């Protein structure tokens, strides 16, 4: 009997600790990560406008405030306070549906979003190599510039969507220079922020990881994002490794709420165990 009570208490303590450590309610910043936005069927990387409406309405109703990259930077660097219940919306790659399907909803619900662009994929009169692109249809530079006037800030997401896990340090440096130069050429205002392609930087060698952080810093990057389905406490512990949570179009609505609360990793683990 005593054994059972002690075990129960330990389990409770562990659960309480995990909830505290991971939850956005305890001083964490949920950074949500999207990719494509469609008007019809959702899939793993695609959220439908129908789902987004529900999600945005939920965030507004519950008093969450969406923030820009520049606001997180000002908080990290100058300790400028963030609004109550902050949440960050990030969208990777720069698909054209972000302009056609997401942008009108951002205005309607007064939501701020941050789009990480693959610089070499952005369409412009001088860029013919991008169509057709097997990854999908990408936005035009002028569409990005239009969005930057109100609801959207932009960041870097490499030049050709290559993985920094497989590139050498000199190749990473060349990619950073190309990305920066191209975005400047296109006249798209960007924040000094980068999102790693393929979500994470899975580098076994700690030294190479630190050298990569140094390169990012040398080339002007002040925040870099991965995908770990985790919520970081703010101010962030490592500004070159900020956690984001993947919001899948295959999630039922309750799972979106779990993402915002910061507990999706625990839920995914439980789900796997039960299967
Ligand atoms: Zn990507």
Residue-wise pLDDT tens digits, 29-47: 999 999 999 999 999 999 9
* Cα of 92 from ligand 1 centre, angstroms: 5
Residue 129 pLDDT greater than 60, yes or no? no
Residue 118 pLDDT greater than 60, yes or no? yes
* Cα of 195 from ligand 1 centre, angstroms: 8
* Cα of 125 from ligand 1 centre, angstroms: 23
- Identify the pLDDT of residue 1: 78
C-alpha closest to that of 247 among 56, 63, 85:
56
* Cα of 96 from ligand 1 centre, angstroms: 14
* Cα of 267 from ligand 1 centre, angstroms: 24
pTM of the model: 0.91
Distance CA 16, CA 31 (A): 22
**Residue 204 pLDDT level (bands cut at 50, 70, 90):** low
Percent of the chain exceeding pLDDT 70 equals 93
Percent of the chain exceeding pLDDT 90 equals 72
When pLDDT is averaged across residues 89-118 and rounded to a whole number, the result is 98
Residue 66 pLDDT greater than 60, yes or no? yes
Contact 138, 117 (CB under 8 A): no
Query: Which domains are assigned to the chain?
Result: 2-274 (3.20.20.370)
For 142, which DSSP code?
H
* Cα of 6 from ligand 1 centre, angstroms: 47
**Residue 244 pLDDT level (bands cut at 50, 70, 90):** very high
Per-residue burial over 252-275, b if 16 or more Cβ lie within 10 Å, else e, is eeebbebbbbbbbbbeeeeeeeee
Q: Residue 59 — φ and ψ, nearest 5°? A: -60, -45
- Identify the pLDDT of residue 70: 98
Cβ count within 10 A of residue 149: 8
* Cα of 234 from ligand 1 centre, angstroms: 25
Radius of gyration of the chain (CA): 19
* Cα of 157 from ligand 1 centre, angstroms: 7
When pLDDT is averaged across residues 163-171 and rounded to a whole number, the result is 92
Summary mean pLDDT of the chain: 91
* Cα of 158 from ligand 1 centre, angstroms: 9
**260: CB partners within 8 A, 6+ apart:** 24, 30, 32, 58, 59, 64, 87
Give the containing element (helix H, strand E) for 52: helix 49-61
């Amino acid at each position: 009997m005593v054994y059972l009570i002690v075990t129960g208490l330990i389990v409770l303590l562990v659960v309480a600790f995990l909830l505290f450590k991971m939850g956005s309610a305890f001083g964490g910043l949920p950074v949500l990560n999207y990719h494509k936005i469609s008007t019809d069927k959702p899939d793993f990387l695609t959220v439908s406008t129908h789902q987004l409406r529900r999600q945005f309405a939920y965030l507004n109703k519950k008093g969450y405030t969406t923030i820009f990259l520049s606001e997180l930077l000002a908080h990290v660097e100058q300790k400028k306070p963030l609004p109550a219940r902050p949440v960050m919306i990030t969208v990777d790659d720069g698909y054209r549906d972000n302009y056609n399907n997401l942008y009108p909803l951002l205005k309607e619900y007064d939501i701020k979003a941050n789009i990480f662009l693959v610089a070499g994929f952005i369409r412009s009169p001088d860029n013919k190599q991008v169509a057709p692109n097997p990854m999908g249809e990408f936005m035009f530079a002028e569409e990005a510039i239009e969005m930057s006037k109100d609801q959207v800030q932009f960041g870097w997401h490499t030049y050709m969507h290559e993985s920094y896990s497989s590139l050498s340090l000199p190749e990473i440096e060349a990619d950073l220079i190309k990305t920066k130069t191209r975005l400047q050429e296109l006249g798209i205002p960007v924040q000094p922020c980068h999102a790693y392609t393929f979500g994470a930087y899975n580098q076994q060698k700690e030294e190479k990881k630190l050298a990569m952080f140094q390169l990012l810093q040398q080339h002007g990057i002040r925040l870099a994002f991965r995908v770990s389905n985790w919520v970081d406490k703010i101010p962030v512990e490592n500004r070159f490794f900020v956690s984001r949570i993947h919001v899948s179009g295959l999630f039922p609505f309750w799972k979106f709420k779990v993402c915002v609360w910061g507990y999706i990793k625990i839920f995914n683990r439980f789900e796997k165990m039960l299967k």
